[in-house]
Structure 1
């Protein structure tokens, strides 16, 4: 039995520090340290994968500037990619620290950023960069971010599968940009459609039971 002189309480187990105030406790030579509280691992897992994602981000930025130096265009897309990657990592840090309902927050951020980009593009003379580049790549980044967060934090598929499904559906929307000829550069939209279609196929084939259960729960079926 130990006694904390600061909190004026007795402890049943033997500890180095008081669990209430952190004050150092006296330990007799013949006492064995025993703690009743289990050690809980950090919710952030897979630091190796996180480092790999950071390395890939740097490689993408370097490659974009390299390609741009050989094939310059009017649009400074390496700068956009750098800003996008910076935003991606800032989002990841924010979402990991505030880790509750992360997939839902990602979906809302995608929607808000898409609307803001359209508004900004419209109010600066409408050059079409929002639907040509920003929105298609935003959908791809959102899906990658959702997957990265799920892997790093070891989320259960049921925790993010519904929002991944919604994000993938958003990613197919650029097909309208091509159908109605709203864009002249089509490869970003095609990449978004292909990537989102792949994710949707994976969800339907591999996670159909999980998404069916989630929809039944949310629709109260």
Structure 2
């Protein structure tokens, strides 16, 4: 995925906040927790939050093999996915200039149903380890019935764009002297301490993947 002039549908409305280089887009995708996937179903727009993973110029998605997004997108249908990081609430001296600091990436492409067993296993491993690095080696192998019930879609990336807003509010200069607080309220996200389900007859320490995930999404 190289920097290029994107098609009109992928271009951001505000050029000063737009980025089209792969490094910027990938940094947002690779540290996101959830992707919001948009598609058309029965003539209506739909948006679904989904776990995902990026592998080169491919985004892997998965769901039950009979769900709409899997069943309806076997033959190269167009879909889009957005990943957003919220970094702060921007409080200005006027309602007009309130905003948010954020990093957002939008991916456009066509889907491909993954039927190759090896690619399917790779995709499921990548999705699992996107959230919990190293988790695949910590759990038992998938059962054949589990694999059969799971559908994997590959979203082949055709166009991307990112929008980033960072910094303080941009007030009108004549408002700077008003006795109104203005600034940024940071939004801090992170993973808490792991809590076991208590079903194992004994105590087990949290796995290494939990610590790696806390580090990744700090």
TM range (shorter): under 0.3
Rg larger for: 1
Higher RCO (C-alpha 8 Å, min separation 6): 2
Would you tell me which structure has more strand in proportion to its own residues? 2
TM-score (norm 2): 0.26
TM-score (norm 1): 0.25
Would you tell me which structure has more helix in proportion to its own residues? 1
